[in-house]
Amino acid sequence: MIFEVHIEVRHRAGVADPEGATIERSLPALGFDGVRDVHVGKSIRFTLEATDEASARSEVEDMCARFLSNPVIEDVEIHLREGAAA
């Protein structure tokens, strides 16, 4: 089976987010008011061949823990969707 995977990697609450802070400080100067709590993270998308959804999910969790995120300071949100067969 082919799965479409979307992973969002975010700074854990309380961890500094300099990029988000910079955006939040800059937007008013461009005339955009009313923006709060800006957080910037990474969005990773790919297709994954796996036998079923459970094994696809566990493989993606493993990828995140070992390579795609830093579990000490980042949280991940994993979205899986069955994709068109190859």
How many CB atoms are closer than 10 A to CB 85? 6
Rounded Cα distance between 74 and 13, Å, is 9
How many CB atoms are closer than 10 A to CB 49? 11
> Using CB under 8 A, which residues numbered 23 to 82 contact a copy of itself?
23-24, 26-27, 30, 32-50, 59, 62-63, 66-68
| Nearest distance in Å: CB 43, a copy of itself | 4
For a copy of itself, the closer CB: 37 or 72? 37
| Nearest distance in Å: CB 4, a copy of itself | 9
Per-residue contact track with a copy of itself, 2 to 21, x per CB under 8 A?
Answer: ------xxx---------x-
Kindly list the distances between the CA atom of residue 41 and the CA atoms of 10, 16, 81, in Å, as whole numbers in the listed order.
5, 12, 21
Rounded Cα distance between 37 and 35, Å, is 7
Residues that bind a copy of itself (CB under 8 A): 8-10, 20, 23-24, 26-27, 30, 32-50, 59, 62-63, 66-68
